[in-house]
C-alpha cells in the first residue's frame, strides 16, 4: 500500500513537472511571435538611457505612480476579476454606428471620426492623422479574449485614405494593434511614438526614417504652421512581461487654425495644468474616460477627474474616449458616458460624444450630439 502511494505521488510530480515545462515552452515560443515587437537595443537604447525620464532601467512617471492603489494587491485584483460577477460589462444590443466614405472625403474637410475606444481619424488643415488604430476586433495578444462589442467593428484599414501621420500614445494592445499596423504600413508616411516604441515598428517593416520616436517635451515642426508637441502622461507600458521599457505619451496637435490635445491613457496629475499653461487654450481635449477602477486610480482617470483635467488644460470642448468597445475594467459598459454627462451638468464643458463613424466637425462649436447610449441594453 505504501509503495502504491509513493508511486502515485511520483507520477503526480512527473505529470505536474511535464505540464509546467510544456507551459513554459509554449509561453516562451508564443512570446516570440512578431506581435510582441522587439526590445530596444544599440543606438536606440543608448538614446533612451539619456532621457531624464529613464531611471533604473525603465521609464518613470513625473510623480510616484503605484500600479495598484494602496490597500489592494495584484493577486486580489486578478481573483476579483475571475470570480466576481460584475453586471452589464458588455452590451446585449449592438452599439449604434455609422459608416462614412473616408476615401472620398475632400481634403479641405476638417473632421474627426471615432472608431470606438481610443482609435480615431483626424483630417485637419490638409493633414490626415490616425491615432491608436485598432481594427482587428481584439485588444489582447491572445485571440478571442478581449473582443470588440457588436456594432463597433464597422471600419477596416481598406476604408482609410493614405495617412500622413500615425500617432501612438503607448504600446498596450488596445492602442498598438499589430494586425492593423502591418496593413497600414503601405499607406502611412510617418509614425510618431514614444522612445522605445520605434523598435516594434522597425521589426514590423516600417522604414527607420519614417519613425519619429520622441521623448516628452519635444516639438516636431512639419512646416506651414503645423506642429506636434510631445507631452507627458501618467501611465505605464509593456507588451510582454517587461514593463515600462517604452515611453507613454500625450500630444498637442497644433495646426495653423487649431490645437487638439491627444491624451492617450493617463491618471490625473500635475501635467495637465502644466500643459494647459504652456499650450492652452485647447480647442478640443481628447481624454480617456473608461476602463477605470478605484483599484488602479493612479493610471486611469475617474470620470470626475476627466472634467478636472479638461479644466486644467483650458479646453473649449471635451471628447471622452477609451470606452464603448472593449471590456478592460469592471464598470458597466455605458457608465463612463452616463457619469461624465451627469457630472458635466455642473462643470458645463461642451461634450463631444459622437456615435462610431459620425463626423465631428472640428471647427464648429455648434454641433450637437445625442446621448446615443441611452436605451442601449
Sign of CA dihedral 193, 196, 200, 201: positive
Report how far apart, in Å, the C-alpha atoms of 78 and of each of 68, 75, 110, 342 are.
12, 5, 43, 31
- Contact at 8 Å (CB) between 129 and 167? yes
pLDDT for position 145 = 93
pLDDT for position 267 = 98
pTM, two decimals, is 0.94
pLDDT in tens, 308-345: 999 999 999 999 999 999 999 999 999 999 999 999 99
- Contact at 8 Å (CB) between 320 and 116? no
- Contact at 8 Å (CB) between 195 and 212? no
CATH architecture, domain 102-361 = 4-Layer Sandwich (3.60)
Q: Which residues of 15-30 are buried (b: 16+ CB within 10 A; e: fewer)?
A: eeeeeeeeeeeeeeee
pLDDT in tens, 151-199: 999 999 999 999 999 999 999 999 999 999 999 999 999 999 999 999 9
Q: Which of 11-15, 96-100, 182-186, 270-274 has the lowest mean pLDDT?
A: 11-15
pLDDT in tens, 216-273: 999 999 999 999 999 999 999 999 888 999 999 999 999 999 999 999 999 999 999 9
Measured between alpha carbons, how far is 319 from 334 in angstroms, rounded to an integer?
15
pLDDT for position 16 = 63
Percent share of the chain, pLDDT over 90: 87
pLDDT in tens, 197-221: 999 999 999 999 999 999 999 999 9
Taking 70 as the threshold, does the pLDDT of residue 2 lie above it? no
Amino acid at each position: 500500500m505504501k509503495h502504491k502511494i509513493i508511486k502515485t505521488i511520483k507520477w503526480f510530480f512527473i505529470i505536474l513537472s511535464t505540464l509546467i515545462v510544456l507551459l513554459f515552452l509554449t509561453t516562451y515560443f508564443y512570446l516570440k511571435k512578431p506581435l510582441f515587437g522587439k526590445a530596444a537595443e544599440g543606438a536606440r537604447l543608448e538614446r533612451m538611457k539619456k532621457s531624464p525620464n529613464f531611471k533604473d532601467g525603465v521609464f518613470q512617471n513625473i510623480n510616484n505612480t503605484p500600479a495598484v492603489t494602496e490597500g489592494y494587491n495584484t493577486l486580489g485584483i486578478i481573483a476579483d476579476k475571475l470570480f466576481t460577477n460584475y453586471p452589464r460589462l458588455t452590451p446585449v444590443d449592438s452599439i449604434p454606428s455609422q459608416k462614412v466614405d473616408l476615401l472620398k472625403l475632400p481634403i479641405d474637410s476638417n473632421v474627426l471620426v471615432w472608431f470606438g475606444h481610443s482609435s480615431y481619424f483626424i483630417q485637419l488643415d490638409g493633414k490626415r492623422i490616425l491615432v491608436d488604430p485598432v481594427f482587428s476586433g481584439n485588444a489582447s495578444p491572445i485571440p478571442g479574449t478581449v473582443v470588440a462589442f457588436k456594432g463597433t467593428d464597422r471600419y477596416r484599414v481598406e476604408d482609410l485614405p493614405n495617412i500622413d501621420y500615425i500617432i501612438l500614445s503607448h504600446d498596450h494592445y488596445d492602442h498598438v494593434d499589430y494586425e492593423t499596423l502591418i496593413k497600414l504600413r503601405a499607406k502611412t508616411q510617418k509614425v510618431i511614438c514614444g522612445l522605445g516604441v520605434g523598435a516594434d515598428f522597425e521589426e514590423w517593416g516600417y522604414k527607420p526614417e519614417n519613425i519619429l520616436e520622441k521623448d516628452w517635451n519635444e516639438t516636431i515642426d512639419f512646416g506651414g504652421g503645423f506642429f506636434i508637441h510631445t507631452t507627458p502622461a501618467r501611465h505605464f507600458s509593456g507588451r510582454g512581461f517587461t514593463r515600462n521599457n517604452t515611453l507613454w505619451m500625450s500630444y498637442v496637435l497644433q495646426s495653423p487654425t487649431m490645437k487638439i490635445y491627444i491624451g492617450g491613457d493617463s491618471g490625473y496629475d500635475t501635467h495637465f495644468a502644466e500643459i494647459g499653461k504652456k499650450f492652452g487654450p485647447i480647442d478640443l481635449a481628447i481624454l480617456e474616460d473608461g476602463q477605470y477602477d478605484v483599484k488602479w486610480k493612479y493610471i486611469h482617470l475617474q470620470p470626475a477627474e476627466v472634467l478636472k483635467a479638461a479644466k486644467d488644460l483650458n479646453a473649449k470642448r471635451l471628447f471622452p474616449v477609451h470606452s464603448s468597445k472593449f471590456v478592460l475594467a469592471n464598470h458597466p459598459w455605458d457608465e463612463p458616458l452616463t457619469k461624465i454627462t451627469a457630472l458635466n451638468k455642473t462643470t458645463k464643458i461642451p461634450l463631444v460624444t459622437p456615435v462610431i463613424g459620425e463626423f465631428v466637425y472640428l471647427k464648429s462649436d455648434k454641433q450637437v450630439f445625442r446621448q446615443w447610449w441611452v436605451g442601449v441594453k
